[in-house]
Amino acid sequence: MNTRTTTSILALPILSLALIGSGCDQSGPTAPQVTVAASATIPAAFFTKNRPEEAPDLTAVKTASSIGEEVTFLARVGGRVAPFVDGVAIFTVADPSLESCELMGEEDHCPVPWDYCCEPRESLTAGSATIRIMGEDGRPLPASAQGAGGLAPARYLVVKGVVSDRNEDGLFVVDAERIWVGGRPSREDQRMGSRPGEAMANVPAHDHDFDGLPDHDHDHDHGHDHDHDHDHDHDHTTETPGVSPEGSGG
């Protein structure tokens, strides 16, 4: 992966905001069917079952930290329709204060639960971060992080790592050293899944609707349609914004 490509991928939270429309009631394409690379190459050592006791929310850490500083913070996987980069261990997270679509009051508010289409663009920029899981060669590991250690859209997580890049435009990149993966919130308790002992909160055994992971243990025809109609106007293609098919950043 060349430097130009890496820089483009790191800007995912910023670039993706340009694709977001003014609200969730705009017409647009259907949610993507995510292709997930094998997660076997993501070492288990990057994950812990023990939630760190002190874990401020992402935004509090983001505003006060510098490049090279070790940080620990609480966030949720998401911030864009496809938070995981296909084939490389990079993904986006969002601050817990931001309201994702599945927490909105109206049932089936949006077909992409971990989308944040109704949040102001400025809030999403301020409350997002890019997480990298690095190999010994100093590059992101060449596999999607989705599914590794339970990582999946909308789940809480506590990230401990080092700030590798940041700027005044909202870019905030953290190279993870250890990750605790929690559960998911509910409309009644939007912090559910973020606390010790809640790692499996709102995480059913067969979770392919959220995870995009293959599920071979039961029949997929279980009475609902995966081809959702979508009502807001940002791009739901699976291509990474700012990265061309040849691997250069536009």
Model confidence pLDDT, tens digit, residues 122-160: 999 999 999 999 999 999 999 999 999 999 999 999 999
pTM above 0.85, yes or no: no
- In the chain, what percentage of residues exceed pLDDT 70? 64
Look-up of token digits 């329709």: 81
Helices assigned H by DSSP within the chain: 3-10, 12-17, 58-64, 121-126, 208-211
pLDDT (tens digit, 9 = 90+) per residue, 154-203? 999 999 999 999 999 999 999 999 999 999 999 899 899 999 999 999 89
Q: What is the pLDDT of residue 8?
A: 46
Rounded distance, CA 118 to CA 198, Å?
Answer: 27
> Is the model's pLDDT at 228 over the cut of 50?
no
CA 243 to each of CA 124, 128, 131, 151, 236: distance values in angstroms, whole numbers, following the listed order? 21, 19, 17, 23, 15
